[in-house]
């Protein structure tokens, strides 16, 4: 499996209220290969704030807030993946066709759509349709 993580954080300083508004968008794209391709494409918006302190303390607090939101989101993704059971993956896979038989990918040249349709509908050679 592979993927990408992109975080964009914006800080707005409100000097009148001595407040720092923190807005973030976390975008995650992940691919999981398990005899097929399961794709996760998600994003989440985060919002928080903190009281203005000295520049050094404010920077430290903002970094901790961002770390908290990203860790929390990562944990929720990790939990989702851990909870994906075999049954869940089976539900995501293509179901068997109505015939309840697997498609013979190894022998596709032997299959023709028109012949199979004719056989299914009973309109092939040796049969007739009345109207």
Residue-by-residue pLDDT tens, the chain, 131 positions:
678 999 999 999 999 999 999 999 999 988 776 656 667 788 999 999 999 999 999 999 999 999 999 999 999 888 877 776 555 656 655 555 666 666 666 665 555 665 666 676 666 555 444 44
What's the domain range around 26?
2-91
Say yes or no: 106 and 51 in one domain: no
Say yes or no: 85 and 106 in one domain: no
Say yes or no: 87 and 99 in one domain: no
Say yes or no: 102 and 43 in one domain: no
Q: Does residue 127 belong to any structural domain of this protein?
A: no
Say yes or no: 49 and 68 in one domain: yes
Per DSSP, what are the bridge partners of residue 15?
Answer: none
What are the strands, taking DSSP E only, across the chain? 2-14, 19-33, 37-51
Provide the token pair at 127: 């049969």
pTM for this one? 0.61
Chain-centre distance for alpha carbon 20: 32
Provide the token pair at 19: 């407040």
């Amino acid at each position: 499996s592979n993927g990408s993580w992109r975080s964009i954080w914006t800080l707005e300083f409100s000097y009148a209220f001595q407040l720092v508004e923190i807005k973030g968008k976390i975008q995650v794209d992940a691919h999981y290969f398990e005899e097929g391709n399961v794709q996760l494409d998600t994003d989440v918006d985060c919002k928080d704030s903190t009281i203005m302190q000295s520049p050094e303390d404010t920077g430290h607090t903002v970094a901790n807030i961002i770390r908290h939101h990203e860790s929390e989101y990562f944990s929720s993704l990790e939990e989702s993946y851990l909870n994906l059971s075999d049954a869940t993956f089976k539900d995501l896979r293509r179901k068997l066709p109505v015939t309840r038989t697997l498609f013979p990918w190894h022998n596709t040249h032997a299959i023709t759509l028109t012949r199979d349709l004719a056989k299914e509908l009973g309109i092939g050679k040796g049969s007739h349709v009345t109207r």
